Structure 1
Amino acid sequence: MRQNRVLWLLDRLERDPRADAVIDAIGRGVRALPLGRGRDALHGRWLGHPVHPLMVQVPIGSWLSAALLDLRPGRSREAEVLIGVGLTAAAPAALAGWADWAELRRQQQRVGLVHALSNVTAVALYATSLTCRMRGRHAAGRAYGLLGLTAVGVGGMLGGHLAYRQASGANHAEEVPHVVTEGWHRVGTVGEFPAGRPVRRSVDDVPVLVIRETGGTVHALADRCSHLAGPLSEGTIADGCVQCPWHGSVFRLSDGWNVRGPATAPQPAFDTRITDGHVEIRLRQDDQGACGQQPEDRAATGRRGEGRDPWIP
């Protein structure tokens, strides 16, 4: 059976390094934007998953509706309004998309760049379509609108490849509760965990970050970052949190809560205990664990000191 031609082209795009210099320059520019806490809002940390796919529904829906109205004579004014709504909504949706794109792997960024170029082309075509319509050139406006919808379709296909083939925006720690078996698992003696130093262990082939505080408290989280599976055991420990070395996501050690993005999902957390000089861990299964407890509920058990999230200015 012959390989699907579209997938073959996409695989070549993932491996093509010719645009890497442009990707690096744009990525630096996006990361340098003074967005502050707005960056986490654009990532969708407040929603629990990326917000960009939700935001693009407005321009796509508006433009598709405009195309349907173009099939009916005498509805040009309504189509103009819908195209204008789509153009207005495209800007914040694009900003959220660029914020996510800047924190992706290189292969994902290569596909994402073409995805963005397709959408930029669509915006330009729809802007031209609206201009033509306002000047009374309705036939040209409809033609440019059809071309714009085609560009949107190409961009949507590339976006789907990013999300479903390349797992961009997916929770890369989601499988942990389904793989780790119930009960306590012995991961080493207390002496194998120097105070304040992250140590990587494995439970049922799942990498786990284990860290013992100076006071003796032991914390354990799934080691692969929920953002893009970065090794948290190689990250920085400070203020009761661990920072992923790949893209800077910050998770609270006590319960895995993601206090700073780009990660939008918390890390699976483990209960810990010391038995006969050995550290044992158990996947936290109760309703108040990292996947179910609300941030305000976690405050009573997960925070120390000033009662505020560390790492957040």
Structure 2
Amino acid sequence: MIGRGLLERLEKANKLDRLGDPLQRKLQEGLRGRVRDALHGVWLGHPLHPAIVQVPIGAWFSAAVLDALPRMETCATVLVGVGTASAVPAIAAGWNDWSDLATAPRRVGLVHAVANAVGVGLYGASLVARLTGNHRLGKQLAYGGLGAVSLGGYLGAHIVYRFAAGVNQAAPIEQQIPEGWHDLCEFRALGDNQKLVAHIGEIPVLVSRTGDTVTAMVERCGHETGPLGEGEVVQVDGSACVVCPWHGSTFRLADGAVVRGPATTDQPTLRTRINRGCVQAALA
């Protein structure tokens, strides 16, 4: 209960916005295009940050074990160096993801970043101490760093499991669609490379036509459930795409494939067919 109370305070700590809001704008202005997509993990199919953060954490935890054993100073020093160096790309990917978070998780994320920065600083100092022969001090600094990054990991997990940051938030919506075929709209209502929003019960579905192909996808963006039905249709590499009006995630209308982040997974699509002039959809 104590931990939960502290986390709730962080979520509501609007004083953090004095730093977080301008920092978010600076990051969004400075990180653009292919660099931004690469750091999000669009090419990988899921967020890059949680994948590559395993390298520094694994190296540092391994170093902690070796530091507890006799005559393992050299190996532990190598691992501390590997962890500290590999933290750099993990930090870059983390800040990139943070810049697209909503207010409450962004506040927690700011403290998450501070804890990790303290940890990286302590590990950097530990590496210097080890390389200058002071292994005792190096071990002490490293254990302090391990405590800091463990706190950072706890806060990072809260961002994911409390706010679903980085997960495909459209997938649970897709799972609410009943089995069987469902009427969406009349085929003649669809213009080429145009879209409309239909509903299966209360589930909004984005319907579009590219040539003779009709695509139906979950209308709520997988990144933060933005309304794709309100998004602009643009051309990207010769394909018609819809842009989420909230954070700019871009999906190809023909198949729901993600072409620009911050979303990293394709938008869930349904099977479609034309039955007596009516577009119908069913779970894939």
**TM-score normalized by the length of structure 1:** 0.82
Question: Secondary structure of the equivalent of 1:210?
Answer: strand
Instruction: Give CA-to-partner distance per residue, 1:65-120, whole Å, 9 cap, x none.
Output: 11111112322222211111111000001111111111111111111111111110
| Distance 1:122-1:254 versus aligned 2 partners, 3 A rule | same
Question: Secondary structure of the equivalent of 2:30?
Answer: coil
Of 5, 10, 17, the match for 2:7: 10
Question: Secondary structure of the equivalent of 1:209?
Answer: strand
Determine if contact 2:31/2:96 at 8 Å carries over to the other structure. no
Instruction: Give CA-to-partner distance per residue, 1:138-164, whole Å, 9 cap, x none.
Output: 222211111100001101101111111
- Counterpart residue number, 1:186: 183
Instruction: Give CA-to-partner distance per residue, 1:21-80, whole Å, 9 cap, x none.
Output: 311222122222355313222111222111111111111111111111111232222221
In the alignment, the residues of structure 2 paired with residue 41 and residue 245 of structure 1 have an alpha-carbon distance, to the nearest angstrom, of 21
Structure 1 unpaired stretches of 5+: 286-313
Determine if contact 1:172/1:228 at 8 Å carries over to the other structure. yes
How many residues end up aligned between the 2 structures? 280
**Which amino acid in 2 is paired with 1:139?**
R
- Counterpart residue number, 2:279: 280
- Counterpart residue number, 2:229: 233
Between Structure 1 and Structure 2, the one with more helix by share is 2
Of 63, 68, 71, the match for 2:68: 71
- Counterpart residue number, 1:298: none
Instruction: Give CA-to-partner distance per residue, 1:143-189, whole Å, 9 cap, x none.
Output: 11111000011011011111112111111111244321233212345
- Counterpart residue number, 1:47: 44
- Counterpart residue number, 2:112: 115
Question: Secondary structure of the equivalent of 1:179?
Answer: coil
**Which amino acid in 2 is paired with 1:255?**
D
Aligned residue runs from structure 1 range 1-313, under 5 A: 4-34=1-31, 36-189=33-186, 198-211=195-208, 218-239=214-235, 240-276=240-276, 279-283=278-282, 285=284
| Distance 1:73-1:219 versus aligned 2 partners, 3 A rule | closer
In the alignment, the residues of structure 1 paired with residue 63 and residue 276 of structure 2 have an alpha-carbon distance, to the nearest angstrom, of 70
- Percent identity, please: 46
Structure 2 unpaired stretches of 5+: none
Output the aligned Cα RMSD.
2.2
Instruction: Give CA-to-partner distance per residue, 1:259-293, whole Å, 9 cap, x none.
Output: 1111111112234455455x4321352xxxxxxxx
Determine if contact 1:224/1:232 at 8 Å carries over to the other structure. yes
- Counterpart residue number, 1:309: none
**TM-score normalized by the length of structure 2:** 0.90
**Which amino acid in 2 is paired with 1:281?**
Q
| Distance 1:270-1:73 versus aligned 2 partners, 3 A rule | closer
Distance apart, 1:211 and its partner CA: 3.9
In the alignment, the residues of structure 2 paired with residue 15 and residue 281 of structure 1 have an alpha-carbon distance, to the nearest angstrom, of 44
Question: Secondary structure of the equivalent of 1:32?
Answer: helix
In the alignment, the residues of structure 2 paired with residue 156 and residue 9 of structure 1 have an alpha-carbon distance, to the nearest angstrom, of 15
